[in-house]
Structure 1
Amino acid sequence: MFMHTFLLVFIAEMADKTQLMVMALTNRYRARTVAFGMILGVLTISGLSVLAGDIIGDFIPMQIVQTVAALLFLFFGLSSLRAEDESGGSQGVNYRFPLISIAGAFLLAELGDKTQLATVAIAAHHQEHFAIFLGAAAGLILANILGIFAGKIIFSHLRENTVKVASAGFFFLFGSINLFETIPFSFPIIVGYSIVLMTTAYIVYSRSRRSLR
């Protein structure tokens, strides 16, 4: 069951929103910090999926989880646009617990995702829970380690401003998708939401750049 679960989760995670989120986080944090935070989130979500996957929805409505995840993505997107001072810190943003922030973001992104649901389904039909846990965790970790390396390689070949806009775009895209899936919007509201989001992003970026001059 280890190999079966590993291959299923690894393939499902490739190009998934959480892998792209991890790639974008490499622009904000050191690769080692992203890796350890991701692994902490992986172990947590894999344990929940195998041991209590079908109970999660009874205690925490999935709509609330997805909404919180969406807001977290949007926050990361806006913070990615903030310029850094000479000491490498973002103006006005204090990341005191990056490991917990990354693990929490990964956990929220994975709740209700196809990889988590696949792990729950496998665990419901087989009794080899420890092997399933190891396979799911290994698949998620390997896929996202590749994402971290890809993020570092891609961002190292882009200009700073391009990196900021690209990483923010990832977070805005998946945050908005999560929000639209959770709360039904009409087309005019979506247009208005997009205008407000882009205007806010432009203001944050412009003020941040001016503060360094």
Structure 2
Amino acid sequence: MEAFLISTGIVALAEIGDKTQLLAFILAAKFKKPVPIILGILAATLVNHGFAGAIGAWVTSLVSPETMRWILGGSFIAMAIWILVPDKFDEDDAKLARYGVFVTTLIAFFLAEMGDKTQIATVGLAAKYNNLIAVVAGTTIGMMIANVPAVIFGDKIANSIKPAIVHRIAAVIFIVLGVATLLGAGSGFGL
């Protein structure tokens, strides 16, 4: 349950103001069809984070628990720093309209999420918790928590949330996870 809850919370916070959330705003404004956009986001996230989680689980099988502890601790601290860097949105991510709303969203989100903060976080969380299903479910729910309101409420939300504050909160959570991991938290769980 901890893997699911932490994964959900971290990704929901990290996603606020992220380029994929900006993509959700743009797709919602362009197509005005929330259901296929939401389903496209869900499908893209499940595939992308499933792949990222599998990599995280695979990495844990390659290195010793002690080495993994240092890799994860450093990775979480690096994520804390990276999350404070604002994302830049590429308009090309939203220019796939000839494929229909669902397919456009699926492709655009999958590509935008490649190498993104939340995908990298999924790799680290899957490695830390060694619970692929809970982590992928949590990161996917976190993405949906941040992006579904963006699709449904669009401009009203964009003007009321201060992404910099939310990013600072997420950065603090990543730092706490990183330091706790470096100090041996979770070592009783094989990390």
Does the alignment reach a TM-score above 0.5? yes
Quote the offset at 1:154 in angstroms.
7.2
What is the TM-score normalised by the length of structure 1? Answer: 0.52
- Asked if residue 150 in structure 1 is aligned to residue 168 in structure 2, the reply is no
Match of 2:39 in 1: 36
With over 3 angstroms needed to count, the CA separation of the structure-2 counterparts of 1:134 and 1:105, relative to structure 1, is: same
Counterpart secondary structure, 1:27: helix
User: Which has the larger Rg?
Assistant: 1
Quote the offset at 1:153 in angstroms.
4.7
With over 3 angstroms needed to count, the CA separation of the structure-2 counterparts of 1:71 and 1:144, relative to structure 1, is: closer
Q: 1: CA distance between counterparts of 2:97 and 2:126?
A: 40
- Asked if residue 133 in structure 1 is aligned to residue 151 in structure 2, the reply is no
Amino acid at match of 1:135: G
Q: What 5-or-longer segments of structure 1 have no aligned partner?
A: 56-69, 80-92, 156-213
What is the TM-score normalised by the length of structure 2? Answer: 0.58
Match of 2:18 in 1: 16
Q: Percent identity?
A: 29
Counterpart secondary structure, 1:95: helix
With over 3 angstroms needed to count, the CA separation of the structure-2 counterparts of 1:71 and 1:133, relative to structure 1, is: closer
Counterpart secondary structure, 1:112: coil
Q: State whether residues 119 and 136 of structure 1, in contact with CA within 8 Å, keep that contact through their aligned partners in structure 2.
A: yes
Q: For the aligned residues, what is the CA RMSD?
A: 2.8
Q: 2: CA distance between counterparts of 1:130 and 1:27?
A: 33
Q: State whether residues 123 and 132 of structure 1, in contact with CA within 8 Å, keep that contact through their aligned partners in structure 2.
A: yes
Q: 2: CA distance between counterparts of 1:128 and 1:142?
A: 21
Quote the offset at 1:51 in angstroms.
1.0
With over 3 angstroms needed to count, the CA separation of the structure-2 counterparts of 1:154 and 1:133, relative to structure 1, is: closer
- Asked if residue 74 in structure 1 is aligned to residue 92 in structure 2, the reply is yes
Consecutive aligned runs of 4 or more in structure 1 exceeding 4 Å deviation: 152-155
Q: State whether residues 72 and 105 of structure 1, in contact with CA within 8 Å, keep that contact through their aligned partners in structure 2.
A: no
- Asked if residue 3 in structure 1 is aligned to residue 21 in structure 2, the reply is no
Q: What 5-or-longer segments of structure 2 have no aligned partner?
A: 59-87, 159-191
With over 3 angstroms needed to count, the CA separation of the structure-2 counterparts of 1:24 and 1:71, relative to structure 1, is: closer
Amino acid at match of 2:9: L
Q: 2: CA distance between counterparts of 1:10 and 1:75?
A: 21
Quote the offset at 1:141 in angstroms.
1.0
Quote the offset at 1:116 in angstroms.
0.8
Q: 1: CA distance between counterparts of 2:98 and 2:56?
A: 31
Amino acid at match of 1:44: V
Counterpart secondary structure, 1:15: coil
Moved more, 7-16 or 97-106: 97-106
Amino acid at match of 1:148: V
Q: State whether residues 23 and 147 of structure 1, in contact with CA within 8 Å, keep that contact through their aligned partners in structure 2.
A: yes
- Asked if residue 46 in structure 1 is aligned to residue 49 in structure 2, the reply is yes
Trace 1:184-203 onto structure 2 (pairs within 5 A). Answer: none
Q: State whether residues 26 and 152 of structure 1, in contact with CA within 8 Å, keep that contact through their aligned partners in structure 2.
A: no
- Asked if residue 98 in structure 1 is aligned to residue 101 in structure 2, the reply is yes
